[in-house]
Amino acid sequence: MDGDRPILYGSVRSPHCFKVSLVLAEKGIDVDRVEIDLPAREQKTPAYLAINPLGQVPVYRDDRGVHIDSLVIMRHLDERHPEPRLFPPAAP
């Protein structure tokens, strides 16, 4: 991570990454992007599996840790950067 800048590990081929990118854009969050070459199976390399043992994209890394799964990431972004709020509050 460069300073406090979060990192999104993703792929331009991935609709799950696209969803996360939409949320980032809507909230105006700048990130560093690391493109993972899915056809070359970079997501299954030891280096990437050390980041996400599931071997999938997207992964979002910030100063609060490593976040795996697009829905988890989007909810994390919505809680951490609530303006504008995109998700309804969690059910009680």
Ligand X SMILES: N[C@@H](CCC(=O)N[C@@H](CS)C(=O)NCC(=O)O)C(=O)O
Sites of contact with ligand X (CB under 6 A):
14-16, 38, 43, 55-58, 69-71
User: Cβ of residue 3: shortest distance to ligand X, in angstroms?
Assistant: 26
**Residue 2 vs 90, nearer CB to ligand X:** 90
Cβ contacts of residue 39 below 8 Å, gap of 6+?
13
**Residue 24 vs 56, nearer CB to ligand X:** 56
User: Cβ of residue 25: shortest distance to ligand X, in angstroms?
Assistant: 18
| CB atoms closer than 10 angstroms to residue 47 | 7
